[in-house]
């Protein structure tokens, strides 16, 4: 990731020249930075050892990759990468090319103040490398919130996101069990397959064939490695794409629902309202109200269901 010592580049860590993903600063304030980090490395690229210059909380928006620090995790859209200040780590793309994250960096003293209030310890360190996707942390339009809010509202959002992550960890987040290298490759293959075919009719048998596992072993491995089921992951991909289309186009809601892979409009409307707290039409209106004339394209946030 980009050099953590450069205040104009808000990546998650320091990375040697030559392999640095592109990081675009979205916002910054005293003790925090938010950036859009896009990595295009793949299986043929040699991973570099990196170091978290500050406390890192990064929401994965696109792609999947392996994260190795004192613990190992397979990161996927909707999951949070967690990095303690000063910790060394390696990110690898053994089974696919590229990823995109919304990266929040917090100065250690600022994070300590938030942690002291939220979990009762200013010395708190993340006990895991990854926080699984969950509805509790699937804040509606999470990426848009980071981009469109200004001044005090934006800083409140940053603190609120850090508090939500800490509170989830303190409340006992679902345990993640590190898969074997062989299983990690198989699950990565399935994640890519779902991303490329989420509009199609997907079933457990078909996904298990992609993973080259029995149905039971696949479901058990997927759930233990990612903290959610294959269906929940499929639903998250479909919903974030539908949300992006609602903002970016004037296509009928029924068309968007069907193209996203939902069999009927009533099911889509119910799940959308359950996840976002508003109907698709109300979501579209709020998105249009938030857009500025300078916006050239809409990027999908990652939304998940648990």
Q: How many residues does the chain have?
A: 306
CATH 1.10.10.60 domain extents, the chain:
228-306
**Torsional sign, CA 288, 289, 293, 297:** negative
Domain with CATH 2.60.120.10 in the chain: 22-170
Q: What is the pLDDT of residues 84-99, one digit of tens each?
A: 999 999 888 876 788 8
Residue among 168, 136, 106 nearest 275 (CA):
136
Q: How far is CA 189 from the centre of its chain?
A: 18
pTM: 0.67
According to DSSP, the β-strands at 80-83 and 49-51 are: unpaired
CATH value of 22-170 in 2.60.120.10, 3.90.950.10, 3.40.190.10, 1.10.3720.10: 2.60.120.10
**Nearest by Cα to 287 from 241, 247, 248, 253:** 247
pLDDT digits (tens, 9 = 90+) for 143-199: 556 656 666 667 778 888 898 899 999 885 555 667 788 888 899 999 999 988 988
Residue 287 has a pLDDT of: 66
DSSP 236: H
Residues 6 or more apart whose CB falls under 8 angstroms from that of 36 comprise: 23, 24, 26, 100, 101, 102, 103
Our CA angle for 252, 258, 262, nearest 5°, is: 130
Q: What local confidence, expressed as pLDDT, does residue 126 receive?
A: 95
**Range scoring the smallest mean pLDDT among 105-119, 130-144, 194-208, 249-263:** 130-144
Asked whether the beta carbons of 184 and 130 are under 8 A apart, the reply is no
Indicate the average pLDDT of the chain: 79
Q: How many CA atoms, within 13 angstroms, populate the side-chain half-sphere of residue 64?
A: 25
Pairing mode of beta strands 130-131, 49-51 = unpaired
Fold for the domain defined by 228-306? Arc Repressor Mutant, subunit A (1.10.10)
Q: How far is 167 from 169, CA to CA, in rounded Å?
A: 5
The helix/strand/coil state of 271 is helix
Cβ 297 vs Cβ 72: under 8 Å: no
Has residue 76 got a pLDDT over 50?
Answer: yes
Q: Is the pLDDT of residue 4 over 80?
A: no
At 237, give phi and psi (nearest 5°): -65, -45
Encoded tokens for 181: 């290298």
Closest to 37 (Cα-Cα) out of 94, 91, 118, 116: 91
Residues pairing with 58 in the sheet: 81, 103
More confident residue, 50 or 153: 50
């Amino acid at each position: 990731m980009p050099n953590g010592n450069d205040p104009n580049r808000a990546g998650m860590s320091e990375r040697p020249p030559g392999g640095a993903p592109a990081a675009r600063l979205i916002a910054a304030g005293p003790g925090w930075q938010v950036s859009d980090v896009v990595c295009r490395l793949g299986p043929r690229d040699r991973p570099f050892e990196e170091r978290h210059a500050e406390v890192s909380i990064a929401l994965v928006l696109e792609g999947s990759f392996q994260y190795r620090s004192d613990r190992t995790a397979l990161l996927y859209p909707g999951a949070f990468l967690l990095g303690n200040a000063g910790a060394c780590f390696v990110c690898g793309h053994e089974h696919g090319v590229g990823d995109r994250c919304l990266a929040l960096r917090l100065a250690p003293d600022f994070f300590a103040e938030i942690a002291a209030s939220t979990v009762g310890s200013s010395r708190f360190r993340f006990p895991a490398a990854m926080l699984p996707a969950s509805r509790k942390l699937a804040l509606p339009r999470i990426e848009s919130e980071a981009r469109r809010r200004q001044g005090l509202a934006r800083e409140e959002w940053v603190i609120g996101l850090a508090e939500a992550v800490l509170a989830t960890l303190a409340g006992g987040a679902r345990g993640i069990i590190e898969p074997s290298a062989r299983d990690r490759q198989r699950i990565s293959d399935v994640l890519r397959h779902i991303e490329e075919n989420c509009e199609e009719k997907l079933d457990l048998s078909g996904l298990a064939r992609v993973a080259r596992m029995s149905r039971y072993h696949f479901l058990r491995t997927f759930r233990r490695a990612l903290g959610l089921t294959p269906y929940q992951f499929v639903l998250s991909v479909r919903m974030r794409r539908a949300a992006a289309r609602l903002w970016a186009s004037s296509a009928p809601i029924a068309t968007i629902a069907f193209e996203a892979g939902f069999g009927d409009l009533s099911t889509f409307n119910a799940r959308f309202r359950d996840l976002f707290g508003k109907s698709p039409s109300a979501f579209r209106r709020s998105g249009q109200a938030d857009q500025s004339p300078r916006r050239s394209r809409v990027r999908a946030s990652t939304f998940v269901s648990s």
